[in-house]
Structure 1
Amino acid sequence: MAYDFKSESEVKEFLQNLGIEYRFGCYSEKKPEVCHLLGDYLEAVKKDYEKARKLYKSNCDDYQFGKSCLKYGTYALLGKAGVKEDYKTAYQYFKKGCEQNVMDSCFNEGLLSITSSEKCGIKPDMTKGMSLLVKGCEGGNANSCYYASGFYISGLRKENSDDKKVEYDVPKDMKLAFKYASKGCDMGNVYCCVNLSQMYSKGEGIGKNEELAKKYKDIALEMQKESQEVGKTLTFQEGLS
């Protein structure tokens, strides 16, 4: 059946039928990918965040569906839809998602490994965290590229390191910083493009090149302009904001 999406009544009919289709695919046919779609439907269309959260959790636990693990982990991290903020639980679900090669989950797990503390129930592990960010970057997550690049620019100091004898869990490495900034910029991360411009300008991690420094500066400015235009019309992740 063809729907006229300019008609409010036909849009409502379409959405109602979509919900029926997703429920059948999830509960009767036991398809994890459809259960995840049903969760998205409950979240985005019905605005029933608590039911969506529960569905994401069961779909992760019962079927190891990585995208649902990521979604439930995000609810736990932010403390939304009837759950308290719980970094440890969030970390566990991000880990499950990363094991299923969901790169957004690898990014979240990696960042929590680096930035959290044992007070949050997470034992910091800089080396593991960096390996997860690198995995996320190589797998196409631009934010992972940005953080991996940034951490290689600064290095990650050992917890008990002092200014007299600085020791690093992850040492500074401008060549790797350049590598991951390049990947991130290619994927559209504006901050990676900014870092890339500065590296070419200063000759850090790559030969100095003012022409390329200007090129990537212009790319970053254009990205920033485009994002401002998009931001006027779109709001993402309404269920988690």
Structure 2
Amino acid sequence: MAYNLKSESEVKEYINNLGIEYRFGCYSEKKPEVCHLLADFLESIKKDYEKAGKVYKNNCDEYKYGRSCLKYATYNLLGRGSKKSDFKIAYDYFEKGCNLEEPDSCLNQGLLLITKNDCIELKQDVLRGMELLEKACAGKNANACYYLSGMYISGVKKADVVSNPGSSKIKEDEYEISKNMTKAFQFALEGCNLGNMYSCANLSQMYAKGDGVDKDEKLAEKYKNMALDMQKDVQSNKTLTFQQGLQS
């Protein structure tokens, strides 16, 4: 049946039929990608986060659909569809998603390991966290590339140095990850090429100062303009695209 969606009744009928189609494709045909769409439908149209969470979880556990692992992990991180957040479950499902080659899951798993938080029953492991960020960056996650670039720009101090810095200058062996402007440039370039405006801004500064790369004023200006153009695009294109999956 064709719809022109000009009347409220036709819109409602279309939405109801869409839900029926997704349920059939998920439960009868057992298609993981349709199960994920069903969960997105429950989340965005029905606003039933509890049911959406159950579908995401089942699609991750039963059908090994990485994007659903990511969504269920995010639900637990935010406490969506439940009474409270559970960082341990969130971490476990980010790990499942990462193992299923979902770059966004690798990013979030890595950030949980890098971040020191006494409320999380998870031991901080910066080196393992950076490995996961590198996997996410290699999987074309622009944010992961940006975070890696930033960590190499400033370096990552060891936990005991952060908590007891003293007054003396921090030595090289007191860094968990040493400053490395060459690597910082490489990851910033990758992040910029993937559309991260902050990576482009960092590239501009690096070219302007000659940090990690030969100084080049023209390229500094080029990447500065790229960052500004991306910023304008972000401000003018804040839209939600259903069926691509809601971003949490």
* In structure 2, C-alpha distance between the alignment counterparts of 1:153 and 1:109, rounded to whole Å: 22
> Who is 1:40 aligned against?
40
Gaps of 5+ in 2: none
Change (3 A) 1:106 1:191: same
> Who is 1:204 aligned against?
211
Q: Is the contact between residue 114 and residue 126 of structure 2 (CA under 8 Å) also seen in structure 1?
A: yes
> Who is 2:225 aligned against?
218
Q: What is the number of equivalent residue pairs in this alignment?
A: 239
Selected match of 2:198 from 171, 175, 191: 191
Q: Which amino acid aligns with 1:11?
A: V
Which aligned pairs between 1:139-218 and structure 2 lie closer than 5 A?
139-161=139-161, 162=165, 163-166=169-172, 167-218=174-225
Deviation at 1:219, TM superposition (A): 1.0
* In structure 2, C-alpha distance between the alignment counterparts of 1:240 and 1:185, rounded to whole Å: 21
* In structure 2, C-alpha distance between the alignment counterparts of 1:214 and 1:165, rounded to whole Å: 35
**Structure 1 residue 136 and structure 2 residue 143: aligned?**
no
Q: Which amino acid aligns with 1:12?
A: K
Deviation at 1:122, TM superposition (A): 1.0
* In structure 1, C-alpha distance between the alignment counterparts of 2:186 and 2:19, rounded to whole Å: 44
Deviation at 1:169, TM superposition (A): 2.1
CA deviation string 1:143-192 (max 9, x = no partner): 10110110111111221234554522222111111111111111111100
CA deviation string 1:57-109 (max 9, x = no partner): 12212222111110011011111122411211111110100000111101101
Deviation at 1:5, TM superposition (A): 3.2
Q: Secondary structure at the match of 2:109?
A: helix
Q: Is the contact between residue 155 and residue 180 of structure 2 (CA under 8 Å) also seen in structure 1?
A: yes
Gaps of 5+ in 1: none
> Who is 1:107 aligned against?
107
Q: Is the contact between residue 75 and residue 240 of structure 1 (CA under 8 Å) also seen in structure 2?
A: no
> Who is 1:91 aligned against?
91
**Structure 1 residue 121 and structure 2 residue 128: aligned?**
no
Q: Secondary structure at the match of 1:169?
A: strand
Question: Please, which moves more after superposition, 23-32 or 98-107?
Answer: 23-32
Q: Is the contact between residue 191 and residue 199 of structure 2 (CA under 8 Å) also seen in structure 1?
A: yes
* In structure 2, C-alpha distance between the alignment counterparts of 1:22 and 1:223, rounded to whole Å: 35
Q: Secondary structure at the match of 1:84?
A: coil
Q: Which amino acid aligns with 1:46?
A: K
> Who is 2:5 aligned against?
5
Question: Please, which moves more after superposition, 31-40 or 200-209?
Answer: 31-40
The percent of aligned pairs where both chains have the same amino acid is 58
* TM-score when normalising by structure 1: 0.92
**CA RMSD between the two structures:** 2.0
Q: Is the contact between residue 49 and residue 239 of structure 1 (CA under 8 Å) also seen in structure 2?
A: no
Q: Secondary structure at the match of 1:160?
A: helix
* TM-score when normalising by structure 2: 0.89
Q: Is the contact between residue 240 and residue 246 of structure 2 (CA under 8 Å) also seen in structure 1?
A: no
* In structure 1, C-alpha distance between the alignment counterparts of 2:222 and 2:203, rounded to whole Å: 10
